[in-house]
A and B are shown apart, each in its own frame.
Chain A
């Protein structure tokens, strides 16, 4: 059996299996389906392994001093915004 992209219920079950979110009775029923269908079994176990690997992978965080560097760029942005507002105001006054 090919797994169709449109088989939403099956994809939901595979996702829930991969993320260990199936209840006991659901898991029992799904295990029977996996026994009968190697494609479903393959996709489900692949999903579980990949999901778990990413879950425990490196967490990338902002480098030290990021907030200060961001604040400096934000200050420039505020300055630019103020200049633009002045230009707009002057052109309105000139009219």
Chain B
């Protein structure tokens, strides 16, 4: 049965909302956008390092979700299906960009005001916060230098905090491979930003 009320839609699971969209309830699309807009921005920014490109990619992901709505089957979690679409778009865009130009590994400085820096410990000192910010920025640069297989598992696990099962499904890789790639990728990142890590562990 179609549920058109947006309050009712908010109470449904992701998969039920998708079912509503498949049944022709257009408001279900807005609900999916509301639920996933930040998650997809956080995910896709790691591929674009630019807010405008990231927003374009997020919009394209949502449109693909709409266009392919009838191919979605409830056997998969909606989030897994959406990340698969987003990752494929990101890979295509990244390859295109790599062909066209050398990618700037610096984030867009004009956008700095819109990036919220989240530090969980409120007692952290200003120097520590600065150090944290610097090392995270080194890490973001290093992330772009990783090979594609390593980068995607790190973004999905450490940034998006998805389960190994979901990552295996999204990347179409065996779970054991996902786990070993995560370890190898973290080790490579640590080697790339060695100075920052060394100063923190000593």
Task: Contact check, A77 vs B183: say whether CB atoms are below 8 A apart.
Answer: no
- Which chain B positions have C-beta within 8 A of A74? 29, 62-63, 66
- Which chain A positions have C-beta within 8 A of B200? 49
Could you mark each residue 3-39 of chain B with 1 if its beta carbon is under 8 Å from any beta carbon of chain A, else 0? 0000000000000000000000010011001100110
Return B90 CB to nearest CB of chain A, in Å.
Answer: 13
Task: Contact check, B176 vs A8: say whether CB atoms are below 8 A apart.
Answer: yes
- Which chain A positions have C-beta within 8 A of B86? none
Minimal Cβ-Cβ distance residue in A for B191: A46
Task: Contact check, B201 vs A49: say whether CB atoms are below 8 A apart.
Answer: yes
Task: Contact check, A61 vs B186: say whether CB atoms are below 8 A apart.
Answer: no
Task: Contact check, A60 vs B63: say whether CB atoms are below 8 A apart.
Answer: no
B87: Cβ under 8 A from any A Cβ:
no
Could you mark each residue 38-50 of chain A with 1 if its beta carbon is under 8 Å from any beta carbon of chain B, else 0? 0000110111011
A69: Cβ under 8 A from any B Cβ:
yes
Give complex CA distance A53, B191 in Å.
14
The residue that A60 contacts in the complex, of B29, B54, B67, B182, with Cβ under 8 A, is B54
Return B122 CB to nearest CB of chain A, in Å.
Answer: 13
Chain A interface main SS type? helix
Task: Contact check, B42 vs A60: say whether CB atoms are below 8 A apart.
Answer: yes
Could you mark each residue 159-202 of chain B with 1 if its beta carbon is under 8 Å from any beta carbon of chain A, else 0? 10100000000000000110110111011011100000100110
B154: Cβ under 8 A from any A Cβ:
yes
Task: Contact check, B118 vs A56: say whether CB atoms are below 8 A apart.
Answer: yes
Task: Contact check, A60 vs B186: say whether CB atoms are below 8 A apart.
Answer: no
Give complex CA distance A46, B55 in Å.
32
Residues in A lying within 8 Å of B, measured CB to CB: 3, 5-8, 11-12, 14-15, 18, 42-43, 45-47, 49-51, 53-63, 66-67, 69-71, 73-74, 77-78
**Ranked 10 nearest A-B pairs via Cβ:** A46-B190, A54-B158, A60-B45, A8-B176, A50-B186, A62-B37, A47-B186, A11-B179, A5-B180, A57-B136
